[in-house]
Chains A and B, each alone.
Chain A
Amino acid sequence: MIEYDYLKPGSLAEVLSLLKEYGPKAALIAGGTDVMVKIRNTKKSPDVLISLRELKDLQYIKKNSGYHIGALTTHRMLEQSEMVQKELAALHEGASRIGSVQVRNVATLGGNICNAAPSADTAGPLLVLDATVVLEGPEGRRSVPIAEFFTGTYKTVCQAEEVVVELEIPSEMEQFGSAYWKHSRRKAMNLPILGVAVALKLGDGDEISDARIGLTVAAPTPVRAYKAEEFLKGKPLNDDVLAEAGKIAASPDCCSPRDSLRCESWYRCEIIETYVARMGRLAAERIKESS
């Protein structure tokens, strides 16, 4: 049994000063659905848990020259937000498919990305929505593009003295359609075997003017499939083009899925190839629905 103490700071300033004082001996806890499991499995043994639950002012979904989502916003809040469902569809699909209602009621968006699992269900959507992670630390605020946030499996650029406070999504994402596919054996209570997120923007005459593809469980971190995105830009939207983008996304130029207990690499590549095309089609349909 791991022994630990707890602290419940009432403000972000207090959290930062406690992080400075305790350093790596402390662990932050928000919803606790990852932290408590790791403590129980003795994968984590902090001397002190610093609770973020009192920081209610970091729980919000706002639209104000871009979208702003507080780090302590729960998955359930994202799932129940009509704005997220309509305008950030991929994120809605990612947040709604995590765990169960009980988990989504407490688990936070900031927690999901800071845990940095290669399978994180919000990571693919945030990648294609071009999100920026806002961190606060002793030196003040800094912003990191989500594509540079993950540095390894369960590793991020967030330093021991820093806290993720917000996810920002640029207002231009309004003009994109997006979609996320979580490939799993069950409909709930499951990690994805593979995750595919796609965001598309269409120009005149159904030409793809911009494209982003995010893959999870396809590499040690969530990744963008840049080469497949480049291929799509300027091409007409049709099944052949989307199928070719799927092939490129599934190639070693874009991903490096591994063999694991849950799935072998070759099958993961087949899912990428198939679902990049399908999610591209769905993302494009969503642009047309909203316009």
Chain B
Amino acid sequence: MKKVTVSFTLNKDAVTAEVPVTWTLLKTLREYFELTGAKEGCGVGECGACTVIVDGEAVNSCLYPIFEIEGKSVTTIEGLANEDGTLNPIQQAFLENNGVQCGFCTSGMIMSAKGLLDHNPDPTEGEIRSSIAGNFCRCTGYVQIVEAIDMAAKTLK
């Protein structure tokens, strides 16, 4: 199986990986770097459980060929908390608003929220809902998630 060597920034660290050419960013994160926060739900870009930030934008890591990641900067859920272990305001807001039930969608949900709040610190409810339209949650009914993102926006301001 042909391999590719890629160097990129992962949660602020410079990293290099040698993995099969056909691997996606998601597979590389989970199998090579053992960062299992990003999940594989559907594997075809429908559910958003694999959402990570690449060069400042939320993307589906399950559709991102690993060979395209050379030189880019990737942030996953594991890169959000502070070094002393305190949570990022978005993570904290999800906890306080019961935005987490089974947890499978949570990493992707929070990364989509980060993608929104990094560009738009004062989103409307419609903008919040649109930003997570590609993240499926089968437990919460979304209301607490939307409230959590709204609270995170207010905390971050």
Write the B131-143 contact mask toward A (1 if CB under 8 angstroms, else 0).
Answer: 1011100000000
Is there contact, CB below 8 Å, between A101 and B63? Answer: no
Is there contact, CB below 8 Å, between B134 and A99? Answer: yes
Which of A8, A36, A49, A102 makes the CB contact (< 8 A) with B134?
A102
Is there contact, CB below 8 Å, between B43 and A40? Answer: yes
Q: Count of A-B contacts with CB under 8 A?
A: 83
Is there contact, CB below 8 Å, between A102 and B45? Answer: yes
CA distance A162 to B22 in the complex (A): 25
Known: A4-B21, A4-B22. A51 touches B68 (CB 8 A): yes
Is there contact, CB below 8 Å, between A51 and B45? Answer: no
Which of A6, A29, A37, A188 makes the CB contact (< 8 A) with B21?
A6
CA distance A172 to B80 in the complex (A): 49
Which of B1, B2, B45, B115 makes the CB contact (< 8 A) with A103?
B45
Write the B51-90 contact mask toward A (1 if CB under 8 angstroms, else 0).
Answer: 1000001111011110110100000000000000000000
User: Separation in Å of the A191 CB from the closest CB of chain B?
Assistant: 11
**Residues in A neighbouring B67, C-beta threshold 8 A:** 6, 8, 51
Known: A1-B22, A3-B1, A33-B45. A103 touches B65 (CB 8 A): no
- Chain A, residue nearest B24 (CB): A36
User: Separation in Å of the B137 CB from the closest CB of chain A?
Assistant: 13
Interface residue A5 (Cβ < 8 Å from any Cβ of B): yes
CA distance A40 to B62 in the complex (A): 10
CA distance A189 to B136 in the complex (A): 10
Interface residue A281 (Cβ < 8 Å from any Cβ of B): no
Per the 8 Å Cβ criterion, residues 264-282 of A in contact with B are none
Chain A residues in the interface with B (C-beta under 8 A): 1-6, 8, 29, 32-33, 36-37, 40-41, 49, 51, 53, 76, 99-103, 105-106, 187-189
Besides A32-B68, A101-B134, 18 other CB < 8 A contacts?
Answer: A2-B22, A3-B22, A4-B21, A4-B22, A29-B65, A33-B45, A33-B63, A36-B44, A37-B45, A51-B67, A100-B45, A100-B48, A100-B134, A100-B135, A101-B112, A102-B51, A102-B58, A187-B133
